[in-house]
Chains A and B, each alone.
Chain A
Amino acid sequence: MSGRKNEEALKRREFLQLVLGTSAGLLLAPGQAFLRTAGRKETGLKVLVLGMDGLDTVLLDRFLQEGKLPHFQKLAASGTYRPLGSSVPPQSPVAWANFITGTNPGGHGIFDFVHRDPRTYLPVFSASESLPARHNLRLGKLNIPLSGGEIRNLRRGRAFWQILEDYDIPATVFKIPSNYPPVETKQRTFSGMGTPDLKGYYGLFNYYTNEYKTVTEEYGGGGRVHDVYVIGNRVEARIPGPNNPFQRGNPETFVDFKVFIDPVNPVAKIAYQDQEFILREKEWSGWKKIRFDFIPTQGVSGICMFYLKEVRPKFKLYVSPINIDPSDPALPLSTPESYSRELARKFGPFFTKGLPADTAALENDVLDEKEFLAQDEIVYQESMAMLEEELRNFRSGLLFYYFSNADQRQHMFFRLIDRNHPAYNEKLAAEFGQVIEQTYRQMDRALQLAMEKVDRNTVIVVMSDHGFCPFRRGFNLNTWLLRNGYHVLRPGTRPEEVSLFQATDWSRTRAYGVGLNALYLNLKGREAQGLVRPEEKEPLLRELAHKLEQVTDPLTGEKVILKAYLTSEVYSGAYLPEAPDIILGFNRNYRISWNSPLGSFPRELIEDNPQKWSGDHMTAPDLIPGVLLASRPARLEQPALEDVTAGILTLFGVKIPPEITGRPLF
């Protein structure tokens, strides 16, 4: 990593500390009721929704035509198969929030993975907000929180299972994205995408090695490399845990561990706390419990996996992000709270982090393709086992069940089916070019399981939130704004050295980009140092939209942005004032660059994406619709996500509330 990158990483870490707070403090968050009763009405009709994140119409069509997905074929023939209109922008948190609430982002307030705080211009997570305890008693180095911390789900609008609850219709909603922490309900729900690891990150792995290695600690995730020494066939190191809310300054907690390596055999024993286990080289440990103590009576429990990548000549040990222990959750995972424990009793430890596949480890070459897939296969097998159990218990109402595998693998393996991708590698393509197809086949097996287990009174719906396309080239929005005079840096600043808008002259800046698709005006009365007067807003937005839609890539001659959506035209609802002013709908093969979303100004306006994260879904939504399959004919020719919500409510005879903008699908 270059010095500049190091500096940036440091700034990001500082920034993360600011925005994430300490997850540990949240352990004191007020608990939900221990036992509750979900709706118990016996519904004659049942609805099963399989949410398969990122299933793409183009690929699905191809595999269907090739006869590779017999159960999708069967479902399509029995009822409905058509593209499903995604959200603007087609990002998962936004799209699933559309489905959850049956309305557009103006009605639920999730506009992007990342929002910005108009008071500071700094990026903030859009999905949830964590607040430490307000009152603390300080005794020397000891800090005693006197009140509970708080964690808030920032998605607004009522979830469809809350509406079903009003009618006493039972629902189980398993790992739906954009529901962390799970909203208050008596239904059985388990949080999905957006659920952090025990440290409060979206996934932070640890890598122990005596080889020179750097990895990036990205916005909300990534990994850490720990330099270790092998002395006398022994390695001693520490696993970092959550910050300690009981100590002044909230220092990070650690668990010490030892690795004993056999002098000859490629095998080692790992020991920490009361755990001892042996791993062969290239072997996963399965889930291991780990406890981080704050003070003698207080601590939090997590689960993680170890992978002994190499013993010799270099020592390489990967430890997965510490997931929240579902049998003793330190942070809210489910409603009722006992649901999480019930699952842990039946299945033992399982992935609780929102997106379980460790894409950052693959991106940083800590895990290779095979190792990444081995880990994601564990995720799939866990999901299948739990789906089978949920189907066995599915007697009434609605069951929603989520799969993340297709989304995560398409993000990482699109480069191996796209010969024009900068990261295409012929050798890897020969070995892993079938991964995406195999994943679609696995989704077909999940559907097969569902079809075999449900009865005739069950309507089966398979849906995805968006499709996929290659991410070959990245657009630096803030660089474009800078070059076109909409964004101004303080004199003497080298733009490529700036991050988090640290050198922006806000008194002369009219627009800025934060997040993956969002552009904001520096609006007077809204932003802390707003410049654009309300009467200037509309013409400026039209000017920006027009100019952005004209940007072409000199390398390909293609338009970079297919459509710049004015949110005032595409959103409606109470939270429209909080929305970005423009949402960029990129052209196929394009996306925002890696550095622009966090307030950086890279030198190139459009740059190649050489990374393994090579497939994405930030284009204009029309280019990458999701898929909809149902065992019942749909009334709508061009359904959208929110229409599925309205359709589900209609199936149960529930009156559609006025805030839902979707039309009944069935």
Chain B
Amino acid sequence: MVWWLNRAVGSLFNLIFLPFSSLNPWVAMLAISLLTALLMLFIYKKTSNQEGIRRVKNRIKANLLEIRLYQTDLRTQLGSQKELLAANLQYLLYNLKPLLVMIVPIFLILAQLNLWFTSRPPAPGETFLLKARFIKTMDLERLRLDLETPEGLVVETPPVRIIDEAEVAWRLKVTGPVDDPLVIQVNGERYQKIVPAGKGRLLRVSTVRVKRNLWQELLYPGERPLPADSLLKQIELRFEPQRLKLLGIGFHWLVAYFLLSIILGLALKGLFKVEI
């Protein structure tokens, strides 16, 4: 169920980002921020009490004016402060419903953006770590473990088995284009992991494949989850993080996304007559 939802949302994002794959990632970030701003304005308008928000904001303004005008009248000041507090509380309550509704799409969007902006796939000649996390009860020393790498990947080290963390790690090197997934064989069972690679400026990079679990699947929507009875909990590729560069400064995508979405949302609220 979650996988099908992830797949649908993932396809939508593939479509959205298709025109931007060879452009500066900032363009894609601007586009998705704009779409987010529009979506959030729409949700906000449809799910909030617009009239109530307008009223309560007017009350807040009136109270602020009162405080300024009657600076010498202590009783009026205190009354206005009380009113102001109540109005603010009312304003927050009006915002609660749209915010709760917005959390759902925002969560799905963030999980998808994480795939596109967090990690940089290694170029040919570069190395990365492959980590397989097992269920705690596994005896790693007796495990029959094998790693099959597709063309374009070579295994550089024997596995490092970390018993108390139920983890096995390898170092892999990219030697060329990687088209097929790698396979970890555990006691005869085969588990695949896609190894994202490519030269585009904007790539979908799924670094983690998780075991079937609602929250884990929502957080890492890039690949079909591992079976529920799998000996593996998670397969992870440790890629280099990437930053959005602007004037020589690197920005984390999350910062860029929230800033742009908020700025665009505030800029467009008048156009769409949304009272925030």
Alpha-carbon distance A265/B238, docked complex (angstroms): 21
- Give residues of chain A (260-315) contacting chain B, Cβ–Cβ below 8 Å: 260-269, 274, 276-280
Q: Is A233 an interface residue (CB 8 A)?
A: yes
User: A269, B248: Cβ atoms under 8 Å?
Assistant: no
Given A232-B163, A276-B238, A278-B171 in contact, is the A262-B158 Cβ separation under 8 Å? yes
Alpha-carbon distance A280/B173, docked complex (angstroms): 14
Alpha-carbon distance A264/B163, docked complex (angstroms): 12
Instruction: Tell me how many residue pairs across A and B have CB atoms closer than 8 Å.
Output: 51
Residue contacts A-B, CB under 8 angstroms, 26 given: A232-B163, A232-B164, A233-B162, A234-B162, A260-B165, A262-B158, A262-B161, A263-B161, A265-B158, A265-B159, A265-B160, A267-B159, A267-B160, A268-B160, A269-B162, A269-B169, A274-B241, A276-B131, A277-B129, A278-B157, A278-B160, A278-B170, A278-B171, A279-B157, A280-B157, A280-B158
- CB contacts (< 8 Å) of A341 on chain B: these are 248
Alpha-carbon distance A115/B159, docked complex (angstroms): 53
**Minimum Cβ distance to chain A for residue B171 (Å):** 4
- CB contacts (< 8 Å) of A268 on chain B: these are 160
Q: Which of B157, B165, B170 has the most CB of A within 10 A?
A: B157
Identify B171's interface contact among A260, A261, A277, CB under 8 A: A277
- CB contacts (< 8 Å) of A280 on chain B: these are 156-158
Can you list, as one digit per residue, whether each of B150-179 has a CB less than 8 Å from chain A (1) or not (0)?
000000111111111100011100000000
B165's closest neighbor in chain A, by CB?
Answer: A260
- CB contacts (< 8 Å) of B163 on chain A: these are 232-233, 263
Given A278-B129, A278-B169, A278-B171 in contact, is the A269-B238 Cβ separation under 8 Å? no
User: B248, A260: Cβ atoms under 8 Å?
Assistant: no
- CB contacts (< 8 Å) of A265 on chain B: these are 157-160
Q: Is B73 an interface residue (CB 8 A)?
A: no
Can you list, as one digit per residue, whether each of A241-275 has a CB less than 8 Å from chain B (1) or not (0)?
00000000000000000001111111111000010
Q: How many residues of B contact A (CB 8 A)?
A: 19
B169's closest neighbor in chain A, by CB?
Answer: A269
- Give residues of chain B (131-159) contacting chain A, Cβ–Cβ below 8 Å: 131, 141, 156-159
**Minimum Cβ distance to chain B for residue A230 (Å):** 13
- Give residues of chain A (205-258) contacting chain B, Cβ–Cβ below 8 Å: 232-234
> Which 9 pairs between the two chains have the least Cβ-Cβ distance?
A265-B158, A278-B171, A260-B162, A269-B160, A262-B160, A278-B157, A267-B157, A267-B158, A269-B169
Can you list, as one digit per residue, whether each of B34-78 has a CB less than 8 Å from chain A (1) or not (0)?
000000000000000000000000000000000000000000000
- CB contacts (< 8 Å) of B157 on chain A: these are 265, 267, 278-280
Alpha-carbon distance A50/B170, docked complex (angstroms): 43
Question: Which label, helix, strand, loop or mixed, suits the secondary structure of the A interface?
Answer: strand
- CB contacts (< 8 Å) of B161 on chain A: these are 262-263
Alpha-carbon distance A567/B162, docked complex (angstroms): 64
Alpha-carbon distance A170/B112, docked complex (angstroms): 50
- CB contacts (< 8 Å) of B141 on chain A: these are 263-264
A262's closest neighbor in chain B, by CB?
Answer: B160
- CB contacts (< 8 Å) of A233 on chain B: these are 162-163
Identify A276's interface contact among B129, B156, B164, B248, CB under 8 A: B129
Alpha-carbon distance A274/B118, docked complex (angstroms): 14
**Minimum Cβ distance to chain A for residue B129 (Å):** 6
Alpha-carbon distance A87/B72, docked complex (angstroms): 83
- CB contacts (< 8 Å) of B238 on chain A: these are 276
- CB contacts (< 8 Å) of A277 on chain B: these are 129, 171
**Minimum Cβ distance to chain A for residue B67 (Å):** 35
Interface positions of A (Cβ within 8 A of B) = 232-234, 260-269, 274, 276-280, 341
Alpha-carbon distance A481/B272, docked complex (angstroms): 92
Can you list, as one digit per residue, whether each of B164-197 has a CB less than 8 Å from chain A (1) or not (0)?
1100011100000000000000000000000000
**Minimum Cβ distance to chain A for residue B140 (Å):** 8
- CB contacts (< 8 Å) of B160 on chain A: these are 260-262, 265, 267-269, 278
Alpha-carbon distance A234/B164, docked complex (angstroms): 10
Alpha-carbon distance A397/B70, docked complex (angstroms): 74
**Minimum Cβ distance to chain A for residue B144 (Å):** 14
- CB contacts (< 8 Å) of A276 on chain B: these are 129, 131, 169, 238
B168's closest neighbor in chain A, by CB?
Answer: A262
Beyond A232-B164, A262-B158, A264-B141, list 14 extra A-B contacts (CB 8 Å).
A232-B163, A234-B164, A263-B161, A265-B160, A266-B158, A267-B157, A267-B159, A277-B129, A278-B129, A278-B160, A278-B171, A280-B156, A280-B157, A341-B248
Alpha-carbon distance A233/B170, docked complex (angstroms): 17
- CB contacts (< 8 Å) of A234 on chain B: these are 162, 164
A259's closest neighbor in chain B, by CB?
Answer: B160
**Minimum Cβ distance to chain B for residue A348 (Å):** 11
A232's closest neighbor in chain B, by CB?
Answer: B164
B238's closest neighbor in chain A, by CB?
Answer: A276
B129's closest neighbor in chain A, by CB?
Answer: A276
A233's closest neighbor in chain B, by CB?
Answer: B163
Alpha-carbon distance A266/B160, docked complex (angstroms): 9
Alpha-carbon distance A279/B158, docked complex (angstroms): 10
**Minimum Cβ distance to chain A for residue B142 (Å):** 11
Q: Which of A233, A266, A268, A278 has the most CB of B within 10 A?
A: A278
Given A232-B164, A341-B248 in contact, is the A262-B129 Cβ separation under 8 Å? no
**Minimum Cβ distance to chain B for residue A349 (Å):** 13
- CB contacts (< 8 Å) of A260 on chain B: these are 160, 162, 165
Can you list, as one digit per residue, whether each of B246-273 has a CB less than 8 Å from chain A (1) or not (0)?
0010000000000000000000000000
Alpha-carbon distance A366/B154, docked complex (angstroms): 31
- CB contacts (< 8 Å) of A262 on chain B: these are 158-161
- CB contacts (< 8 Å) of B158 on chain A: these are 262, 265-267, 280
Alpha-carbon distance A276/B171, docked complex (angstroms): 10
**Minimum Cβ distance to chain B for residue A39 (Å):** 24
Alpha-carbon distance A174/B246, docked complex (angstroms): 28
Alpha-carbon distance A233/B165, docked complex (angstroms): 12
Alpha-carbon distance A261/B158, docked complex (angstroms): 11
B248's closest neighbor in chain A, by CB?
Answer: A341
- CB contacts (< 8 Å) of B165 on chain A: these are 260
Alpha-carbon distance A403/B163, docked complex (angstroms): 46
Alpha-carbon distance A486/B131, docked complex (angstroms): 69
- CB contacts (< 8 Å) of B162 on chain A: these are 233-234, 260, 269
Q: Which of B131, B156, B157, B160 has the most CB of A within 10 A?
A: B160
Alpha-carbon distance A233/B163, docked complex (angstroms): 9
Alpha-carbon distance A269/B238, docked complex (angstroms): 13
**Minimum Cβ distance to chain A for residue B163 (Å):** 7
**Minimum Cβ distance to chain B for residue A301 (Å):** 13
**Minimum Cβ distance to chain A for residue B68 (Å):** 36
**Minimum Cβ distance to chain B for residue A109 (Å):** 37
- CB contacts (< 8 Å) of A264 on chain B: these are 141
Alpha-carbon distance A393/B176, docked complex (angstroms): 30
Q: Which of A261, A263, A264, A269 has the most CB of B within 10 A?
A: A269
- CB contacts (< 8 Å) of B131 on chain A: these are 276
Alpha-carbon distance A341/B238, docked complex (angstroms): 25
Alpha-carbon distance A108/B241, docked complex (angstroms): 47
B162's closest neighbor in chain A, by CB?
Answer: A260
**Minimum Cβ distance to chain A for residue B168 (Å):** 9
Alpha-carbon distance A268/B131, docked complex (angstroms): 13
Alpha-carbon distance A274/B170, docked complex (angstroms): 17
Alpha-carbon distance A269/B162, docked complex (angstroms): 9
Alpha-carbon distance A234/B163, docked complex (angstroms): 10
Alpha-carbon distance A260/B170, docked complex (angstroms): 12
Alpha-carbon distance A263/B158, docked complex (angstroms): 11
**Minimum Cβ distance to chain B for residue A588 (Å):** 48
**Minimum Cβ distance to chain B for residue A127 (Å):** 31
Alpha-carbon distance A262/B160, docked complex (angstroms): 5
- CB contacts (< 8 Å) of A266 on chain B: these are 158
**Minimum Cβ distance to chain B for residue A650 (Å):** 39
Alpha-carbon distance A269/B141, docked complex (angstroms): 16
- CB contacts (< 8 Å) of A274 on chain B: these are 241
